[in-house]
């Protein structure tokens, strides 16, 4: 009896330590996950395809909004699927980012998991790593935002995370806040450093500020604190021995609901692309843009939400870009093709011809028109521009106030 009890106690201790061991490896590998999975190509490039506002419903049964009347009988969610397949084949991206309103709950779908399976299918079958964040419509069916993200992280080739491993420290708001690190090509000196940092944030859905008027949610202080901490940690890693770098690696943010600063662009001369509707941003400016300017790391913020805006505008050195709507079941504009946005980063070479830091980042859009047009190619950022901004201070240049 006594021996038996001892064995049991030992077995218990053994299993507890096994659990602890596996938990701690889980923690470590969760951190390493985004880090080890993504890497610049051997040609020093990394291409990100942003697909926003698919508003996927029931597949064949879900009709298209805002297409020519003659097209209505032949148009459904399946056209969104076809567009996505076509774009993946032509662009061959290294990562696909679904930036929210991926599915359209709204009392239509009783099985939103099925809608998600169909919506993400072209990405899954391509074998390309992909991630998703949520918009304001995704949870309007039989899953909460938490269960939606828990489902998304388990789909094949999904690098999405419900929240970062250290989220508890920030008591982070929302579901689907995480960071992805893109390392140097294999064989290059910077193969173990992150050369491009992506921040995916949950922009929330609606908020009731009183008066029963629901407004769009904003990026919370907890999320900004997590961003700041992660960004500083990545900067430290980047500047650390071996191969210490002098600057910070560039970063990009993906966030469904545009921040209030997107409202700043109205004249065609201020933007590449078009504004065809008002920016539907949160009623409160929570200061996320200020935080980004202070950190100086993020070069572009990529949103969706407003389907018929597809412009990029620059404010204080940060590009604020819309993707434009990709889905046929969501609203659009007759005669204005559904579209997606691509970002491509290119590395520089050092004096020995080895791959170094990010040199330039470009962006363009792909349309689902007859020609599958590629439009509005623009330089988002180059290393040169940043260096050029370092103007020396001279007193007479500053007028007195």
Ligand X SMILES: *[C@@H]1O[C@H](CO)[C@@H](O)[C@H](O)[C@H]1NC(C)=O
Binding site for ligand X (CB under 6 A): 67, 71, 74-75, 79, 245-246, 360, 369-371, 373, 382, 384
Q: Please say which residue, 110 or 384, places its beta carbon nearer to ligand X.
A: 384
What does 305-355 look like in DSSP terms, one character per residue? SSTT---EEEETTEEEEE-----SSS--BTTB--EEEEEEEEEEE-TTS-E
Beta strands in 122-234 (DSSP E): 130-133, 178-183, 194-201, 206-208, 214-216
Q: Give the Cα separation of 28 and 15 in Å (integer).
A: 20
Beta strands in 76-129 (DSSP E): 95-99
Say what the alpha-carbon torsion angle 82, 86, 88, 91 is, to the nearest 10 degrees.
-160
Q: Give the Cα separation of 198 and 297 in Å (integer).
A: 11
Q: Please say which residue, 4 or 246, places its beta carbon nearer to ligand X.
A: 246
Q: Please say which residue, 118 or 149, places its beta carbon nearer to ligand X.
A: 118
**CB-based burial label for 37 (10 Å; 0-12, 13-18, 19+):** middle
Distance in Å, CB of 246 to ligand X, minimum = 4
In 3D space, the residue among 312, 344, 308, 246 whose CA is nearest the CA of residue 66 turns out to be 308
Distance in Å, CB of 309 to ligand X, minimum = 20
Q: Please say which residue, 221 or 386, places its beta carbon nearer to ligand X.
A: 386
Q: Please say which residue, 104 or 170, places its beta carbon nearer to ligand X.
A: 104
Q: In what order do the strands lie in the sheet with 130-133?
A: 130-133, 95-99, 45-51, 339-349, 355-367, 374-382
Distance in Å, CB of 62 to ligand X, minimum = 12
Place of tokens 């610049």: 40
Q: Please say which residue, 153 or 274, places its beta carbon nearer to ligand X.
A: 274
Q: Please say which residue, 79 or 160, places its beta carbon nearer to ligand X.
A: 79
Distance in Å, CB of 74 to ligand X, minimum = 4
Distance in Å, CB of 8 to ligand X, minimum = 59
Distance in Å, CB of 348 to ligand X, minimum = 9
Distance in Å, CB of 373 to ligand X, minimum = 5
């Amino acid at each position: 009896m006594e021996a038996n009890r001892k064995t049991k106690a030992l077995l218990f201790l053994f299993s507890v330590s096994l659990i602890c061991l596996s938990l701690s490896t889980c923690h470590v590998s969760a951190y390493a996950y985004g880090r080890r999975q993504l890497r610049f190509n051997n040609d020093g490039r990394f291409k990100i395809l942003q697909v926003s506002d698919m508003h996927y419903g029931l597949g064949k049964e879900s009709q298209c909004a805002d297409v020519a009347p003659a097209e209505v009988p032949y148009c459904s969610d399946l056209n969104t699927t076809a567009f996505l397949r076509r774009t993946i084949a032509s662009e061959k991206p290294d990562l696909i980012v679904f930036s929210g309103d991926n599915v359209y709950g709204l009392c239509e779908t009783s099985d939103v998991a099925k809608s998600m399976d169909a919506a993400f299918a072209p990405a899954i079958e391509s074998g390309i790593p992909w991630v998703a964040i949520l918009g304001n419509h995704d949870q309007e069916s039989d899953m909460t935002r938490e269960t939606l993200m828990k489902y998304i992280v388990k789909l094949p080739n999904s690098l999405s995370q419900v929240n970062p491993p250290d989220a508890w420290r920030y008591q982070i708001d929302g579901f689907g806040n995480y960071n992805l690190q893109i390392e140097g090509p294999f064989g290059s000196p910077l193969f173990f450093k992150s050369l491009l940092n992506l921040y995916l944030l949950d922009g929330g859905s609606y908020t009731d500020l009183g008066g029963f008027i629901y407004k769009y949610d904003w990026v919370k202080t907890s999320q900004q604190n997590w961003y700041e901490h992660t960004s500083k940690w990545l900067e430290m890693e980047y500047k650390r021995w071996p191969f210490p770098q002098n600057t910070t690696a560039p970063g990009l943010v993906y966030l469904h609901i545009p921040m209030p600063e997107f409202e700043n662009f109205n004249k065609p001369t201020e933007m590449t692309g078009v504004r065809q509707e008002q920016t539907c941003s949160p009623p409160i400016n929570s200061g996320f843009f200020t935080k980004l300017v202070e950190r100086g790391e993020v070069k572009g913020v990529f949103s969706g939400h407003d389907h018929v805006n597809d412009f990029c505008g620059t404010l204080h050195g940060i590009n604020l870009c819309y993707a434009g709507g990709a889905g046929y079941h969501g609203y659009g504009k007759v005669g204005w093709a559904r579209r997606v946005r691509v970002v491509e980063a290119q590395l520089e070479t050092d004096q020995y011809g080895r791959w170094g830091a990010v040199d330039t980042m470009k962006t363009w859009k792909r349309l689902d028109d007859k020609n599958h047009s590629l439009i509005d190619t623009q330089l988002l950022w180059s290393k040169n521009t940043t260096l050029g901004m370092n103007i020396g201070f001279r007193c007479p240049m500053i007028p007195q106030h």
